[in-house]
Amino acid sequence: MLGLYQAVSVDIDQIHELTSIVREARQQIFADGVVTSTAQKKKLMEEFYGAEAPQEVDVQPPEVVNMKGCGSRLPSRVEKALKLKSRPLRQCKKCQEWGHHDSRNCNKFKEKEKRRSRRNSEV
Ligand SMILES: [Zn+2]
């Protein structure tokens, strides 16, 4: 697109003409219906602009912007680990270990509880 504008010498009237041509072309494209295949698009471009469509497109559509409240994505394992790493360590009063848990959700305590309940169910 930029090349197109550069090809035309900087003259506001010419730029206006060009934009009107582009608008017309766009209207015709949309009036004909949805152009699906890239070959069709290329043909249209060649017809309207009289130039070959560029092989490489260096202007991409913008990334989709997330609206408020639409980011309910579950964090990956790596993200979870990174978050844990950034947290300060706490000493557990049950196992006296420095980690990211406390006496209320101590793993050692839980394991003991599990074993006890299993033993109880076996008996
Ligand atoms: Zn603990």
Amino acid at 19: T
Ligand 1 centroid–CA 97 distance in Å is 6
- Gap from CA of 69 to ligand 1 centroid (Å): 36
CA distance 29 to 37: 13
Rounded distance from Cα 99 to ligand 1 centre (Å)? 8
Closest CA to 28 of 11, 53, 51, 45: 45
Distance CA 24, CA 49 (A): 12
For residue 93, give its domain range: 87-122
The answer to whether position 70 is within a domain reads: no
Partner residues linked to 99 by β-bridges: 90
Work out whether the CA dihedral 66, 37, 45, 18 comes out positive or negative.
negative
Within a domain: 105: yes
pTM listed for this prediction: 0.26
Mean pLDDT of 2-23: 69
In a domain? residue 104: yes
Q: Is residue 112 part of a domain?
A: yes
The pLDDT value recorded for residue 95 is 87
Output the average pLDDT for the chain.
74
Q: Residue 90: beta bridge partners?
A: 99
Best CA proximity match to 89, nearest among 76, 77, 98: 98
The CA 88 to ligand 1 mean position distance, Å, reads 15
Q: Is residue 44 part of a domain?
A: yes
Is 80 within a domain? no
44 pLDDT exceeds 70? yes
Q: Is the pLDDT of residue 42 over 70?
A: yes
* Residue 77 belongs to a domain: no
C-beta of residue 15 within 8 angstroms of C-beta of residue 5: yes
Max distance between CA atoms of the chain, in angstroms, equals 94
Ligand 1 centroid to 105 CA: how many Å? Answer: 7
Q: How far is the CA of 62 from the centre of ligand 1 (A)?
A: 48
CA–CA separation, 11 and 14 (whole Å) = 5
Domain count, the chain: 2
pLDDT band at 2 (very low <50, low <70, confident <90, very high): low
